[in-house]
Chains A and B, each alone.
Chain A
């Protein structure tokens, strides 16, 4: 348990050290927390991103979770029964993706720039494991984004970056209880006159800690013994229950 948390903190520290010197002038931003600890009572959490600019300008925030491989399947009717008939596997799917800005994205940045930096849900970079024709891509890509939105892992719309005066800004990012563990990146862009003039990337680690982390680690590393212990615990519990209620 301690090791997981320490390792996570170590990664954060290392990344902060790398990110530190490169921090651009004119834009400073940080998170209320760099570590989201998934404990036994975890129900999801909010992280506040706050910062300051050196003058007027727009701010865009992109939060990206660790990449996964994911398959979107479509059901069809076969002999009266609905079953999965078609599927497309995407590689490098961000497990979590949220965009926030202080005003509509299309009013501040040209489409090409937004696409290049994955600013906006329509610009999430998704590559398929195998080449597929554009018509299928046009069907399955939005489906993936929709499913992710259903799970609360992709934002439904662009979140709100709130300015206090001209220079101070903040935004909330909500992480639901089903977030994937791993390294997240929070990118903050400062935009002036349709151009990105400054950018900063801050790491965020989501990690299981405490009892739930120990159970998970054990189940992955020593899965055979985990199974044996699960059986022993169940036998003990069943026996105890029977003995208890027999006396009562």
Chain B
């Protein structure tokens, strides 16, 4: 009785599809693992979180932007925990500085999550995500490219002594605090303000913000470079943890299944990336990273100005 034959629901040509319970769609598990591994490799290579690559990638494969950003925060908790441990063992974490930054970032995260909610309701969240990506990635990528190009040139000409850090109006702010580990006596508003920015970025862009925090800590705070990576990672753990709980609690946009797949791929990729990165010179690595950051910015910037194929979009508000 072929007439009443029930066709098989699962086409055998599609291997390993996994249904994501929060994103409410099925994805190829190998694709997500590979994405996590690829980005993990690059993040290990360059010592950055890689959220700035993963969030646009997730949106590109069809995960709703809200779920991409919320889940990314969860994945970054794991990535920064495994990243911070090595720094912690080498005592390269300024805990006091991290905690002051955390105070700012908690406020920033909370505001960011509320802002995300508001912008989603207005239908402008995709636009704001794209614009912040273009501005921050474009700006930071451009600066990094110029800086690393200069230092590559300088190395050819021989070393030049640089001042440890310069004093600006920023150092005149009140509420001065002593940070013994970093040998700094600066206003608490500075690290808290940088943390605040990091918090907003986690909740709107789904990135840890390392590539913005690190230069800010070096150039604005004047922290010793050895402490910067560990301290920013230490701070990012808590910022992304707060963001995860808030996104899950207020927006229900954290997909643990997706996060699990991403972090398995991510931690494995990061290990290989780190060992590959030890063979790369500092300013070469920075130049490569700058090119990568800039290309993401250019791609997203192009999408903002290019005439879209489909002018219309549909969003389901309630069920």
Contacts and interface: CB of A to CB of B under 8 A. Distances in A.
A95 to B, nearest CB: 7
B247 interface: yes
B21 A216 contact: yes
Given A231-B245, A238-B79, A45 B9 contact: yes
Nearest to A233: B256
Contact of A81 (B264, B271, B305, B310): B305
B256 A75 contact: no
A180 B314 CA distance: 15
A70 interface: yes
A44 interface: yes
The interface centre, meaning the residue of A38, A41, A147, A234 with most chain B CB atoms within 10 A of its CB, is A234
A148 B250 CA distance: 27
Interface residues of A, number: 73
Contacts of A237: 78, 260, 263-264, 267
B151 interface: no
Given A82-B304, A82-B305, A46 B315 contact: no
B267 A46 contact: no
A228 B263 CA distance: 17
B4 A71 contact: no
B21 A215 contact: yes
Interface stretch (A11-19, A53-61, A108-116, A218-226): A218-226
The interface centre, meaning the residue of B78, B131, B250, B308 with most chain A CB atoms within 10 A of its CB, is B78
A147 B314 contact: yes
Interface string A126-162: 0000000000000010011011101100000000000
A121 interface: no
A46 B268 CA distance: 38
B294 to A, nearest CB: 19
A74 B311 CA distance: 6
Contacts of A241: 78, 82, 263, 267-268, 271
Interface string B263-281: 1100110010000000000
A89 interface: yes
A238 B319 contact: no
Given A43-B9, A68-B317, A245 B271 contact: yes
Interface stretch (A97-105, A164-172, A185-193, A196-204): A164-172
Contacts of A40: 18-19, 257
A93 B21 CA distance: 22
Interface in B268-319: 268, 271, 304-308, 310-319
B81 A72 contact: no
B18 A238 contact: no
A22 interface: no
A147 to B, nearest CB: 4
A237 B78 CA distance: 6
The interface size bin for chain B is 35 or more
A46 B9 CA distance: 6
A162 B81 CA distance: 59
B241 interface: yes
A95 B316 contact: yes
A32 interface: yes
B77 A238 contact: yes
Contact of A227 (B11, B247, B311): B247
A23 B81 CA distance: 62
Given A43-B17, A84-B127, A216-B22, A230 B254 contact: yes
A73 B312 contact: yes
Nearest to A38: B19
B259 A230 contact: yes
B11 A43 contact: yes
Given A147-B313, A172-B7, A95 B319 contact: yes
Given A84-B124, A177-B25, A70 B19 contact: no
Interface of A: 32-33, 38-46, 48, 50, 66, 68-76, 80-84, 87, 89, 93, 95, 140, 143-144, 146-148, 150-151, 164, 168, 170, 172, 177-178, 180, 182, 208, 212-213, 215-216, 219-220, 223-224, 226-231, 233-235, 237-239, 241-242, 245-246
21 contacts: A43-B26, A44-B26, A46-B7, A70-B316, A70-B317, A72-B314, A84-B124, A146-B312, A147-B314, A180-B24, A180-B316, A216-B21, A219-B22, A220-B252, A226-B248, A230-B74, A230-B256, A231-B245, A234-B259, A241-B267, A242-B81
Given A73-B312, A239-B85, 18 more contacts: A33-B6, A43-B19, A44-B9, A71-B123, A72-B313, A73-B313, A74-B311, A81-B127, A150-B310, A164-B3, A212-B257, A226-B248, A230-B254, A230-B256, A231-B74, A234-B78, A234-B263, A241-B268
